[in-house]
Amino acid sequence: MGMELEYKFSVPGAAALEAILADPAVQAMRRENYRAIEMATTYFDTPDRRLSARRWTLRLRKENDALVATCKTPGQGTARGEWECEAKTMEEAIPKLLAAGAPAELQALLDGQTLDAVCAARFTRRAALVKLPGAVAELSGDLGVLSGGGKEAPLCEMELEYKSGDPEAVAAAANDLARRFSLSEEPKSKFVRAMALTKEEP
């Protein structure tokens, strides 16, 4: 199974995000220049929303000039199942995701169903690999907007994603970053927050 282990924090605004990414302590961990990636993500679900009801995510994202499809499933704590492939459409992506190891249940859930584009996110990501005591992770800052139901909401957050080594070292580094910059954990994914925009307010 593909696994994603990441720590996500809400950042109060563009100036605060810039200050974090430029902080001397962060710069000392960085092992490469920040890469700028323009992200345009569309999230898909069935008309009866059976994927989101299971907390599954199915998305097609343009990363600069590349199109990448992703399926995510719930995991333990901050870990999630994650499978990716290159694809131009979600219909093209489904068999590729299954071949990459996505749960066979995905095909069963989609049999006889159409897929709707239900919400989206557009943002610029700046990312770099960082070397931690005993581990390697990717630090990224995302700045942009979430959209759904004709509405938009600002997006500004920081992520620390495990790449190799000791997962506990990444957890410790995430906790240290949160303390250093007074950050709050963002428990909801971009998809969940974008989907919330589609719901009618009372």
Is pTM, for the whole model, over 0.75? Answer: yes
* CA 156/CA 21 separation, integer angstroms: 13
Q: Give the DSSP letter of residue 62.
A: E
Nearest one of 60, 54, 66 to 115, comparing CA atoms? 60
Greatest mean pLDDT range, 2-6, 50-54, 61-65, 122-126: 122-126
For the ranges 3-7, 25-29, 111-115, 143-147, the lowest mean pLDDT is seen at 3-7
The predicted-structure confidence for 79-138, as pLDDT tens digits, reads as follows: 789 999 999 999 999 999 999 999 999 999 999 899 999 999 999 999 999 999 999 999
Q: Would the pLDDT of 185 be above 80?
A: yes
**DSSP H or E stretch at residue 175:** helix 167-181
* CA 151/CA 198 separation, integer angstroms: 8
How far is C-alpha 47 from the geometric centre of its chain's CA atoms? Answer: 23
Q: Would the pLDDT of 29 be above 90?
A: yes
Q: Residue 159 — pLDDT band, cuts 50, 70, 90?
A: very high
Exposure of 199 in the CB half-sphere (CA atoms within 13 A): 8
Hey, which residues does 128 pair with through a beta bridge?
Answer: 139
Alpha helical stretches, state H, 61-147:
90-99, 105-110
Tokens found for residue 1: 């199974």
* CA 44/CA 52 separation, integer angstroms: 9
- The larger pLDDT score, comparing residue 3 to residue 5, is at 5
Q: What is the mean pLDDT of residues 26-43?
A: 96
